[in-house]
Amino acid sequence: MKRDISVLYKQAALGVGWAVIQPIFAVIIFTVVFSYIAKLPVPGDVPYPVFAFAAVLPWTYFAESIRRGATNLVNESNLVKKVFFPRILIPLAGVIAPFLDFLIAFAVMIILMLVMGVTPTWRLIAVVPFIALAAMLALGVSLWLAPINVRYRDVKHTLTFMLQIWMYASPVVYSSDLVPDEWHWAYALNPMVGVIEGFRWAVTGTEFPDLTMLAINGAMILTLFLTGLVFFKRMERSFADVI
């Protein structure tokens, strides 16, 4: 894990600047396209850049964690073949390393909030359980995808596409209020909906996520994590032979 974090910005000319460049550019593009051009409504009087940043932040952490957690077994194939250690540490390190980026970008978001007249409140402490849920979900998905990626490298190639679709199926650039009532049951099956809406509530004070949807999301995250753990342990013995 220490090695994963230490190489995060190694030989990068902009260093830790990359931790904020991606979310800032994403927020700028989303603001132009979805606020100025598409004119999507935002709940309350929250400025759209803050509204978008409060969702881009947990999403970027989640997506980067999956990207690392699902592919690191293959990327570290020499280590897997030669050294015996609990293999689960590899996807776990993939989920922990991006947390450094998250903390840096979180500080930038606080500055943006103050510049745009949004005062942080006591609710900000609630980002902790919501980002913990995002981490558990990312680890659960990684525990499923990492062993599959060892056998079928297609996972690496479809990951970017899959995460792109998942992002637009989540309330990153729009509010959940825009989803028609008759589709709310299907929307609740996306475990990132409750995470993002909860994180956004903690940051901007928008409406708290529906408790039923939050319970469904929590149950799905726990199920994905536990079943992923069982699947990973079952496949673990074959990694060194197949990779």
How many other CB atoms are found less than 10 A from the CB of residue 159?
A: 17
Which pTM does this prediction carry?
Answer: 0.89
Structure confidence at residue 239 (pLDDT): 80
User: With pLDDT > 70 as the criterion, what percentage of the chain qualifies?
Assistant: 93
Phi, psi of 93, rounded to the nearest 5 degrees: -65, -35
Structure confidence at residue 15 (pLDDT): 66
pLDDT digits 0-9 by tens, 7-51: 666 666 666 677 788 889 999 999 999 999 999 988 888 999 999
Q: In whole angstroms, give the CA distance from residue 218 to residue 214.
A: 6
3-state DSSP helix/strand/coil percent for the chain, to nearest 5?
Answer: 80, 0, 20
- Coil, strand or helix at 74: helix
Q: Which of 215, 206, 17 is nearest to 118 (CA)?
A: 206
**142 in Cβ contact with 70 (< 8 Å):** yes
List the structure tokens of 64.
């980067």
- Coil, strand or helix at 77: helix
Q: In whole angstroms, give the CA distance from residue 183 to residue 195.
A: 18
CA atoms within 13 Å, Cβ hemisphere of 93: 18
Cβ neighbors of 163 (< 8 A, separation 6 or more) are: 63, 66, 67
Residue 70 has pLDDT above 90, yes or no: yes
